[in-house]
Amino acid sequence: MGITAAQALVKGLEEENVTKVFGYPGGAVLPIYDALIDSDIQHVLVRHEQGAVHMANGYARISGQPGVCIATSGPGATNLVTGIATAYMDSVPVVIITGQVATSMVGTDAFQEVDITGITLPITKHNYLVKRAKDIPRIIKEAFYIARTGRPGPVLIDIPKDVAASTIEYQPVEKVELRGYKPNYKGHPQQIERAVRLINKSKKPVIYVGGGVINSGATEELYELAWKAQMPVTTTLMGLGSFPEDDRLSLHMLGLHGAPYANYAVTNADLLIGLGVRFDDRVTGAIEKFAPQAKIIHIDIDPAEIGKNVVVDVPIVGDLKLVLRDLIEKLEPQEHLEWLEQIEQWKQEHPLQYGNGDRLRPQYVIEKLGELTNHRAVVTADVGQHQMWAAQFYKFTRPRSFLTSGGLGTMGYGFPAAIGAQIADPDALVVTVTGDGSFQMAMQEMGTAVEQNLPIKVLLFNNNSLALVRQLQHFYCDKRYTAVSFTGNPDFAKFAECYGAVGLKIETRDQVEPVLKEALNNGRLTIIEVSISEEELVLPMVPNARGLDEMVQFPFGEEDQCE
């Protein structure tokens, strides 16, 4: 006896060990939702489709397995687009299932019809419009294979309603063979030998680490490499947690708002080893001034990234875990005492700082959060000043402990990603660091968090402003501020109470520790609203067209104005 293609889809999800899906139903996905009734897969009902894809993203980044989301055709599908682009830019494995109008109606501008495969072609690793019901088992198998292998990324499957309702004889697919898609995992031996020679003779090396190290599960190999050759390690925003920031070889984050000593080290290095990085503009500053004295080794699973933004001396295509094992085996133990002493001097002379006094400072709140959680929380962040303060002052010590939108810079990512993270790891302490602007792009997902009984902590910095945009206007628009002030913000603590959650407020410095302790120990969904000044700046900051060593630092003076 046959089953419907929708039932085959659900069966394929079960065979991929999917236990949770995030979605929002509609007419074009009714057959799929009907099939889910008879499955053990838990469906999480979101309040907006964009929340579904961000939750799948957070779930994937915590679990290491593809997240899955579902939406109906038309507006349901288009509401996913920003989240799909977010996953694509940050190399997150997500499988997106959308409904489509019946095949006889495709191309007729039918009700709730959009060409979602055409729309998402540039922002998916691959996508499918399913035309034959019998292809469903193969497509599901391929989609998960593509999403998780090589450089991870989102894969979309668009299923017309009549195809989903068709009956097929189900035959499980055991193996995936895709011509033209053969990720290269093993590094070229001669290139590895060249890299080893450069490392052995370098005097001032720096390891520069991105999210690729976390994706490949290569954090232990990174640690062994760094200590065997005594090389300091700096990370991108996406690489935070790949190397423990309480280690003496840690340089913390580099780049636009990176640690001064990280930026000085990269500028003065004679060797830069890029691991799973993109050399994007938020890291390099003025590209012609980036690591000007350094030979560059770049190791990445994606050959398209190597040489894209910087000239590379030794390119190695392969999986970082495998390539680093080969490097470590061939590498001679090193010492770089003078170099490490110089870096320690920079750390003493140019620490990350923000001033003292009784004024309530967001950086102090983040530091206190780190102390009270022993730097062991899973932190998700939206995009804005709060994101940078979290990256600078929390001190991440474990992989998969910091989730944020790095490449696309998506406001509204943090809270739904936290929901996905908490569902992936129910025992984790999950904290969202957000701002009044970002939170209002996703605050309807409070309903999802309450419904799922999730004890997430939302640390919300309220300055009634889009303050990072305001900061840019401060530096680049001669302090001519426009369209960055909110006059209609809600009382966020009372907003939490409307959903049956806990709402707390921090308005003075002496309230920080007791309120955070109360929130962290109450076992309930909690919003902690922190009132801060819109005058706060994220420093250091590398101005446009400047090198990493030309930062505006604290204390900030008029002589530091940016051109």
Query: Which pLDDT tens digit goes with each residue over 396-422?
Result: 999 999 999 999 999 999 999 999 999
**Residues 70 and 155 occupy one common structural domain:** yes
Helix 320-330 and helix 219-228, axial crossing angle in degrees, nearest 10? 20
What pLDDT is stored for residue 557 in this prediction? 59
- The whole domain housing 523 covers 362-531
Q: Any idea of the CA torsion for 247, 248, 249, 254, to the nearest 10 degrees?
A: 80
What's the angle, vertex CA 183, arms to CA 180 and CA 189, rounded to 5?
Answer: 125
- Whether 22 contacts 69, CB under 8 Å: yes
Judge if 131 and 202 occupy the same domain. Answer: no
pLDDT of residue 357: 80
What is the helix (H) or strand (E) element at residue 250, kind and residue range?
strand 250-253
Q: Is residue 173 part of a domain?
A: no
Average pLDDT for 85-112: 96
Q: Quick one: pLDDT at residue 558?
A: 44
Please tell me whether residues 369 and 344 are part of one structural domain. no
92, 68 Cβ separation under 8 angstroms: no
Statement to judge: residues 258 and 332 lie in one domain: yes
Nearest C-alpha neighbor of 208 from the set 272, 134, 264, 117: 272
Is 90 exceeded by the pLDDT of residue 181? Answer: yes
Q: For 145-156, how does the pLDDT look when each residue is reduced to its tens digit (9 = 90+)?
A: 999 999 999 999
For residue 498, the tally of other CB atoms under 10 A from its CB is 11
Q: Are residues 328 and 370 in the same domain?
A: no
Please check whether residues 413 and 488 belong to one and the same domain: yes
| pLDDT beyond 50 at 290 | yes
**What CATH number did the domain enclosing 330 receive?**
3.40.50.1220
Q: Which pLDDT band holds residue 126 (cuts at 50, 70, 90)?
A: very high
Q: CB burial class (10 A; 0-12, 13-18, 19+) of residue 183?
A: middle
User: Could you tell me the CATH number of the domain that includes residue 414?
Assistant: 3.40.50.970
> How far is residue 291's CA from residue 462's CA, in Å, rounded to a whole number?
37
Question: Are both 138 and 208 inside the same structural domain?
Answer: no
Q: What is the pLDDT of residue 1?
A: 65
The whole-number pLDDT of residue 562 equals 44
